Amino acid sequence: MKHNFYAGPAILSKKVLTKASEAAINFNNSGLSILEISHRSKDFVEVMEKAEALVCELLQISDDYKVLFLTGGASSQFYMTAMNLLNENEKAGYVDTGAWSTKAIKEANLFGKAEVTASSKDKNYSYIPKDYSVDPDYKYLHITSNNTIFGTQYASFPDIDVPMIGDMSSDIFSRSFDHRKFDVIYAGAQKNLGPAGVSLVIVKKNILGRVQREIPSMLNYQTHIDKNSSFNTPPVFPIYVSMLSLEWLKDFGGIPAIAQRNEEKANLIYKAIDDSPLFECPVSKEDRSKMNVVFMPTKEGIDDAFLKMAESANCIGIIGHRSVGGYRASIYNAMPTESVKVLADVINEFSQIHG
């Protein structure tokens, strides 16, 4: 058995993969593949409606929000949010916690003024900024809830008096939170939801229609709200697999159950790192991610031996992002506790031999 710690596209439940593979050949005993049915057909409309309903059920989304399934990846939301919400003469706040928020800031500046409200760049993004003031003139504040590269995560979300946008690409559905703190939530599917090719967007409907610019139809949230995410041909298969993942999560016990397991998995691997003389986690303990565990060697020349031992235990995908080095274990929802135990055992055994 391979233990897949890649940051994304990431591991999916075996049950989901089995059902998806069956549907790729024969969907709903129709004699057709899910890949070749019409997106206007009754069968796929039911898939879309069920996926939307499961998002609302699992996250307890209220009726004043709309769930959308869009293309372009979460990176397209860096500019789509600003295009829909920010006039040229207006400003928005951005909390800079790493690579993805930096990219979001760059895109937002094309449409208005994106101000860095707070940043953890001074310590190589090893913590989540806190105790900063938010300008009441901001049209919104943008945060990235979990940072895959640097291994930080918001333990709780701020209470502020302006609308808030949340990039939750790498920790959506991993824990409970109050969606009413946000006016827009977006997430690429390929971490905790489904395969690459679709993005989830949850938008509060009354925040729209306030910008003065003309917005291209495909980039206008209202277009997709009016057409139930089917203005054009949606990514049928990624949406279907996402629906299967949401079904799996519901059957698992929903958000409370998966949050408990995610806590247990994170505790397992962080304990192994903290107990080792050969590795350290550079992230402030209160801000450590439960999705992406980043750790660094404290001794030179051990990389090859450690990676070889990990590979012999069938642990793959643990090399850190190229911009920071070290190691990273991504332990998203579908990652079994048993796989995390295997990596923790590798760290423990390697430390005993080489420490």
What tens digit of pLDDT does each residue of 335-346 get? Answer: 999 999 999 999
Residue 182 lies in a domain: yes
- C-alpha dist (Å) from residue 35 to 39, 224, 235, 354: 10, 22, 9, 51
Q: Are residues 153 and 247 in the same domain?
A: yes
Say whether 103 is catalytic.
no
Q: Domain containing 296 — which CATH number?
A: 3.90.1150.10
For residue 66, the one-letter residue type is: K
What does the block give as tokens for 185?
């939530």
pLDDT > 90: percent of the chain: 99
Q: Are residues 72 and 196 in the same domain?
A: yes
- pLDDT recorded at residue 317: 97
Residue 149 lies in a domain: yes
Number of domains comprising the chain = 2
pLDDT, mean of residues 184-211:
97
pLDDT, mean of residues 191-201:
97
Residue spans of beta strands (DSSP E) within 25-104: 65-70, 91-96
Q: What range defines the domain where residue 334 resides?
A: 253-354
Q: Are residues 152 and 75 in the same domain?
A: yes
Q: Are residues 102 and 201 in the same domain?
A: yes
Say whether 66 is catalytic.
no
pLDDT tens-digit map of 229-263: 999 999 999 999 999 999 999 999 999 999 999 99
- Chosen domain end from 252, 281, 309: 252
- pLDDT recorded at residue 123: 97
- pLDDT recorded at residue 61: 98
Residue 211 in this model has a pLDDT that exceeds 90: yes
- pLDDT recorded at residue 355: 79
Residue 9 lies in a domain: no
Residue 209 in this model has a pLDDT that exceeds 90: yes
Residue of 66, 139, 191, 204 with catalytic role = 191
Distance, C-alpha 101 to centroid of its chain: 13
Residue 146 in this model has a pLDDT that exceeds 90: yes
- pLDDT recorded at residue 101: 97
pLDDT tens-digit map of 279-310: 999 999 999 999 999 999 999 999 999 999 99
Q: Are residues 263 and 228 in the same domain?
A: no
- Chosen domain end from 198, 220, 252: 252
Q: Are residues 177 and 31 in the same domain?
A: yes
Q: What is the spatial distance between Cα 186 and Cα 67, in angstroms, rounded to a whole number? A: 10
- pLDDT recorded at residue 271: 98
- pLDDT recorded at residue 80: 98
Say whether 191 is catalytic.
yes
Q: Are residues 230 and 339 in the same domain?
A: no
Residue 3 lies in a domain: no
Residue of 96, 100, 139, 171 with catalytic role = 100
3-state secondary structure of 219: helix
Q: Are residues 125 and 203 in the same domain?
A: yes
Q: Are residues 287 and 342 in the same domain?
A: yes
Count CB atoms within 10 A of the CB of residue 298.
12
* Mean pLDDT score across all residues of the chain: 97
pTM of the model: 0.96
Q: Are residues 161 and 272 in the same domain?
A: no
- Chosen domain end from 208, 227, 252: 252
Count CB atoms within 10 A of the CB of residue 271.
13
Q: What is the spatial distance between Cα 6 and Cα 331, in angstroms, rounded to a whole number? A: 9
Please give the angle made by the CA atoms of 163, 64 and 66, to the nearest 5 degrees.
90
What does the block give as tokens for 138?
């901001």
Residue 4 lies in a domain: no
Q: Are residues 97 and 236 in the same domain?
A: yes
Alpha-carbon dihedral sign for residues 182, 69, 59, 149: negative
Q: Are residues 184 and 293 in the same domain?
A: no
Residue of 167, 171, 183, 287 with catalytic role = 167
Q: What is the spatial distance between Cα 313 and Cα 146, in angstroms, rounded to a whole number? A: 28
Residue 323 lies in a domain: yes
